[in-house]
Amino acid sequence: MEIIVQETAEQASMLAARLIAKTISDKPDAVLGLPTGSTPLPLYKELIRIHKEENLDFSSVTSFNLDEYLGLGPEHPQSYHHFMYENLFNHINIPAENINIPDGLTENVPSFCIGYEQKIKDKGGIDIQLLGIGSDGHIGFNEPSSSLTSRTRIKTLTPNTIKDNARFFENESAVPRHVITMGLGTVMESRECILLAFGEAKAEAVRQSVEGPLCAMVPASVLQMHNRSRFFIDAEAASKLEKVEYYNWVFSNKPAWQQFEK
Ligand code: PGA
């Protein structure tokens, strides 16, 4: 696990965007796992800039989104389909047929989920899985108590997450109760994980995920078992980490070949 602390969310997002851009340059048909929420927005902006100004080519890239609200169609302004097109896909040259997002209107959830997992396998697996983190430690919509080996499935949101996400809806009761999410087992099979966390509201979840015990009550702690997982966080999200000086020391003492391109 590597903990990379930058002063601001923008700085952390720029570094993570560079890493993703490099993966795509090295492997033009890379498979990306993508999140929604406010956290990845600066990173998506930077990827769009790199696409426009440095010709980063997404024409062979495939994407799989982590989750979607059940009951919301792709045109719904709060659906994750809508979010992804508005904030990324409409601004880069990824072909529509390469974009995969769970279907919030599926009539057969179990069968849809089996098919989604199969599609990830058929594409050779996910190269980079980008993640946000909920204030309760969820990744994707794997709420506390999610099995650490779970696969893509239906989940019921916790009241805490419904409250956190109500800001995007008219009120709390408009937030769907159910979602489809990739499982923790699905995330763990990706070749590399990048988790972004910004702001004080995420500090406790980050602390528990990085320095607490591995446990289903803190779903992001499963990343302790991933052999290539990196947290890109800002100073506020790092504020409760006991060993922050050590993480900073590691980052500033990397051998030249491991250093990050800025
Ligand atoms: P946020 O959500 O990026 O809007 O804070 C993160 C999450 O719930 O996973």
d(CA 221, CA 240) in angstroms, rounded, equals 15
Report how far ligand 1's centroid is from the alpha carbon of 204 (Å). 14
Report the separation in Å between the CA atom of 83 and the middle of ligand 1, taken as the mean of its atom positions: 13
Report the side by side order of strands in the sheet with 193-197: 2-6, 229-234, 193-197, 128-131, 31-34, 62-65, 99-100
Could you give the number of structural domains in the chain? 1
76 burial type by CB count under 10 A (0-12 exposed, 13-18 middle, 19+ buried): middle
Q: What is the mean pLDDT of residues 125-135?
A: 97
Residue nearest to atom 2 of ligand 1 (CA): 37
DSSP class per residue in 102-148 = --TT-S-HHHHHHHHHHHHHHTT--SEEEE---TTS-BTTB-TT--T
For the Cβ of 133 lying below 6 angstroms from any atom of ligand 1, the answer is yes
List the end-to-end C-alpha distance of the chain, in Å, as a whole number.
21
| pLDDT digits 0-9 by tens, 90-104 | 999 999 999 999 999
Domain region containing 115: 2-254
pLDDT confidence of residue 154: 98
**Residue with CA nearest ligand 1 atom 7:** 134
Is residue 46 within 8 Å of residue 17, measured between CB atoms?
Answer: yes
Contact between 105 and 177 (Cβ < 8 Å): no
pLDDT for residue 184 is more than 80:
yes
Asked if residue 262 belongs to a domain, the reply is no
pTM of the model: 0.96
Q: Domain containing 225 — which CATH number?
A: 3.40.50.1360
Ligand 1 within 6 A of CB of 38:
yes
Would residue 160 count as lying in a domain?
Answer: yes
Q: How far is the CA of 35 from the centre of ligand 1 (A)?
A: 8
pLDDT band at 261 (very low <50, low <70, confident <90, very high): confident
| 261 assigned to some structural domain | no
In tens, the pLDDT along 10-68 reads 999 999 999 999 999 999 999 999 999 999 999 999 999 999 999 999 999 999 999 99
Query: Residue 109: what residue type?
Result: V
In a domain, 259, yes or no: no
pLDDT of residue 114 exceeding 90: yes
Residue 125: pLDDT over 90: yes
The answer to the question of residue 156 being in a domain is yes
Within-domain flag for 260: no
Residue to probe by mutation, ligand 1, list 38, 43, 68, 218, most atoms within 8 Å of CB: 38
The verdict on whether 136 is a catalytic residue reads yes
Collapse the DSSP code of 195 into the 3-class scheme (helix H, G, I; strand E, B; otherwise coil) and give the result.
Answer: strand
pLDDT at 232 over 80: yes
Based on the residue annotation, tell me whether 236 is a catalytic residue of this protein.
Answer: no
- Note if 143 is an active site residue: yes
pLDDT greater than 90 at residue 230:
yes
Q: Is the pLDDT of residue 107 over 90?
A: yes
Which of these ranges, 143-147, 160-164, 182-186, has the smallest mean pLDDT? 160-164
* Ligand 1 within 6 A of CB of 196: no
Query: Ligand 1 pocket, 137 CB below 6 A?
Result: no
39 Cβ inside 6 Å of ligand 1 = yes
pLDDT at 259: 84
In a domain, 237, yes or no: yes
Residue 6 within any structural domain of the chain = yes
Residues 221-236, mean pLDDT to the nearest whole number: 98
Between 261 and 185, where is the model more confident?
185
